[in-house]
Structures are given as structure tokens and as C-alpha cells.
Structure 1
């Protein structure tokens, strides 16, 4: 795992960020399919879901090769408004020829601990039984106002998890409290990770994550995949001091 400096792209507005991000995703998909015949991608919720729902239906890609996981998921029924799967099913999956059997979902009707174990098993089955750690082609990550990413929150013990692929959390400081999340050993083995952030409200945290030197580091600053890309609009990048 390399610890490369994140690549930062700044665009005028959210529409341009969406276009750039979705072009990047399409390129990652093409590269992955050429290399090993499938595209393993992890999705995150929040504002990112709305961005992807707008941009991804417009890209050129072989959807039959996509294998879609969720970087984290709320432990709620699929008809609950908090379900990330529901947001993508209604906003994106209904618009593209992606087979439901290639979308890997949690089981919300079992305990969150059992759901985490089951999701790790689904991952193991998809990547192959001989896989020690999954290597995702691309993880699309979000960043919360406290600097969290996935369901990995500042100072939480899960930041130190080193043995499991998927962990349960029952004490999320952001509701709903019960979730599952990929762990950093999985996140940091990904070939590519990408964040997208737009708006003035993101500017302070973007600056802290990309230019700060906080101890302990904010979770979003702990992402050290082979390539980490940030797609920002001018408002979100407004407090960065480095020349971009």
C-alpha cells in the first residue's frame, strides 16, 4: 500500500465536479475490466448518491461487469429512508442496465453483528475464497462534517480495526446508530479512492483533511489507497492554501 499524496481537482461548480467524477469512474471501470474482467466498486451514501444518480447514467460502460458493494450501510430495512441501498436503487439502479445480482446488499433482518459477518462472506464469495483481503478497483467515499468517512468516526475504536473486512457499529454518533462499515485495511488496499465535495460548508473540513496535521488524524485523512482523488468545486476548495 502506497501513501501517495491525494490528487485534487477543482472545478467551477457541482455540475462540473459531477462530470469529472463520473468520467473518472468510467475510466476506472474500463481499466478494471481490461485487467481482470470485472469492476469492483464501493459506493457511499449522502450527497454523493445524488451526484452519481445524475452523472452515471450518461457514461459509456459495460454494466454487466460491475460488482457493486457499499462502503458502509445503515442497519435498517430497505424501505427505510435511511437505507443507502434504497437511495441508489431508486436514484441510479433503476436508470442503468445493472443486474440486481451484481449489487451486494446487507441483510437488514438479522443482528448488525450477523449482518457484518454476512456482508464479509458475500465479499469473500465475490472476490474468491483464496482472497486474503479484497482489492477494490474503486471506492467512492464521503466525508462528514466531523471528518468521518464510511462509518468510521473520529476517536472511535474501529479506526484501529486490523483483522476484519467488515465491522458492525452500534454506537454511531450520527443516527441511525447501527451500521456496518468497511475497515481501513480494506479501504487502504483499494486501487483508487475518490471523494467529491461541493459547497462552502465543506471548505473548513476539506482544508483540515488535505492540509492539516491533526493528531490523531481525522478518519478521511487516514484514507491511503494506491490513488486518492478529491473532486471539489471552488467553494469547497476555497480555504486550501496549496497551489492547485
Structure 2
């Protein structure tokens, strides 16, 4: 079952990033204590990158056995491997290159120069199959933490307001074309995949996102604010700075 959102407000972006990093380390260590391994879905964006940098800088990061963490991405720009604009490339620079990771547990979405070439539908199907293989009979793993950034328009992953991708749930991963935010072609989890997460954390910073934060927390129409439709099965956190919280009631 889905959960009601809990809002945590931090005074400014740097505090938000460091607090989220500490929360992530603790959540992953806890998941490993309970289940042996942890599945985490990462996000891109400015505050997502700062959060990963804060994990890299934290003395507590060694509380996690990183060999037993499966890393996924809820969306990715369909660009060549290693491209500077790919979320996975940015995550490697911010954190992953500093960790002792098992390469087999780092599940980067396929790139446009990968085995499927420039066919994003085939690449989406390949990533969906990889998720299913790790899920033990389900379509996707029950992510212990699913981190989501959010745009000023309320989009999460690459699910944009009033975009045809919003209504597609035939698979856990879809190809998104004509994205309103460049680049135009992306891979994205569907709402069905996002809904499998135990904990969903929407991390948002800046006054330009305040309206979308207020609409998302209030559970407004998903077609206009996709972030409103994402809930964790155990908890849903909105981790925001004071500017992003400025239009919340009270």
C-alpha cells in the first residue's frame, strides 16, 4: 500500500544534500542488516549530484558494504556511454568512482552506442529484463530507497506533465521521445516501477520548485504534476530546502 508524504525541510541546499546523504547511508546500512543486500535507485540533477558528493565525503560511508548494494537509475538520457550529460556518468564522478563497488551490481541503463544501438525501445526492454532478473519474480526489485529529483514542472524520472509517457505502464521501463527537456530521447521507469519502492524520497531545492512541491505533496492531478503520483510502500519523504518549501501551507 502507498504511504502519505512526510515533509522534512532544511534551511539551504548544502544542508539538504548533507542531511540526505546521512539519511541514505543509514537507510542502506539498515537494509543490509535486514536483508543482506540493498537496492537503491539513484537520480541526477544538481541536488542529486550534491547528495552523492556528500556521501563520498562522509566518514560514515564505510558503514555500508558497497559490494552488497545494487545501484539503478530511474531514468537516463539516451546518449553514448560516458557522455557528460548521462546521470550514470555524473554519479560515477560524484561518488561511484570513490567506492569499492562490484561492477556486477552497478546497473547502468543502456547507452545509445550499446548493444541495441540507437533503438531506445530495445534498450528499454533490455533494462526491464535486467530489473526483472534481479527482482526474484517481480517486474522490478523492491527498492530500499528510490531517490527522485523533481523539475519545476513537477516531473520525476522522465515522466513529464501531459506527455504520452505518463499513460504507459506496459513495462517497467519505457523509451521517452520528444522530451520537453533536452535531450529529447530518454529511458524512464514507469509509475508501476516507481511504485515498487519501499522508500521514495523526492529531493527538491530552490524557489522555482516551490509550486510543484506544494502540488506534489497535496496529491494533485498526476497528469499535471507527475511527482504527486509517486508513493513508497513503507514511507514517502519530501526532502526540501526552505525555498522549495515556501508555498507549502503552514
> How high is the TM-score relative to the length of structure 2?
0.89
Shift of 1:212: 6.3
| Cα gap change, 1:116 to 1:216, in 2 (>3 Å) | closer
Separation of aligned partners in 1, 2:52 and 2:139: 33
1:220 aligns with 2:224: no
Shift of 1:208: 2.2
Shift of 1:206: 1.4
Residue 76 of structure 1: aligned partner: 79
1:203 aligns with 2:210: yes
Give the CA RMSD over aligned residues: 1.7
Residue 241 of structure 2: aligned partner: 233
1:14 aligns with 2:13: yes
1:38-97 deviations in whole A, cap 9, x for unaligned? 110111111133222321121331111110010100110123222111111112111222
Separation of aligned partners in 1, 2:20 and 2:37: 20
| Cα gap change, 1:214 to 1:170, in 2 (>3 Å) | closer
Q: 2:164 aligns with which of 143, 157, 163?
A: 157
Residue 135 of structure 1: aligned partner: 142
> How high is the TM-score relative to the length of structure 1?
0.91
1:164-189 deviations in whole A, cap 9, x for unaligned? 11111122111111111111111112
Separation of aligned partners in 2, 1:138 and 1:212: 21
1:192 aligns with 2:199: yes
Unaligned runs of 5+ in 1: none
Worse-superposed segment, 98-107 or 204-213 = 204-213
1:90-143 deviations in whole A, cap 9, x for unaligned? 121112222322111122222111110111111122223x23443111110011
Separation of aligned partners in 2, 1:132 and 1:170: 23
Asked if structure 1 preserves the Cα contact closer than 8 Å seen for 2:17 and 2:47, the reply is: no
Separation of aligned partners in 1, 2:144 and 2:248: 28
Unaligned runs of 5+ in 2: none
Asked if structure 2 preserves the Cα contact closer than 8 Å seen for 1:161 and 1:183, the reply is: yes
Asked if structure 1 preserves the Cα contact closer than 8 Å seen for 2:71 and 2:106, the reply is: yes
Matched position secondary structure for 2:41: strand
Asked if structure 1 preserves the Cα contact closer than 8 Å seen for 2:218 and 2:228, the reply is: no
Matched position secondary structure for 1:231: strand
Separation of aligned partners in 2, 1:107 and 1:132: 18
| Cα gap change, 1:170 to 1:214, in 2 (>3 Å) | closer
Worse-superposed segment, 220-229 or 53-62 = 53-62
1:88 aligns with 2:87: no
